[in-house]
Amino acid sequence: MYEYTQRTLKTLSFFTEHILSDTVICRKTQGKCSFAICPFFMKANGTCYDGKAKCCRPCL
């Protein structure tokens, strides 16, 4: 039972990290996630929320 629980937790943590990974990368590189077009002086470079939004980074 203990081994099954550990395996389940490892699987869940893998999927959680995978879903959040592009969003975390965007935020760490000073980007902002946007479902619409990027604001003025920002350029779309990457994705957020598993590809559902754009990562907008300053272009200056």
At residue 60, the pLDDT reads 73
Per-residue pLDDT reduced to its tens digit, 16-46 = 555 558 999 999 999 999 999 999 999 999 9
What is the domain class of 2-58 according to CATH? alpha beta
What is the rounded CA–CA span in Å between residue 58 and residue 41? 6
Domain boundaries, the chain: 2-58
At residue 26, the pLDDT reads 93
12 or 53: which leads in pLDDT: 53
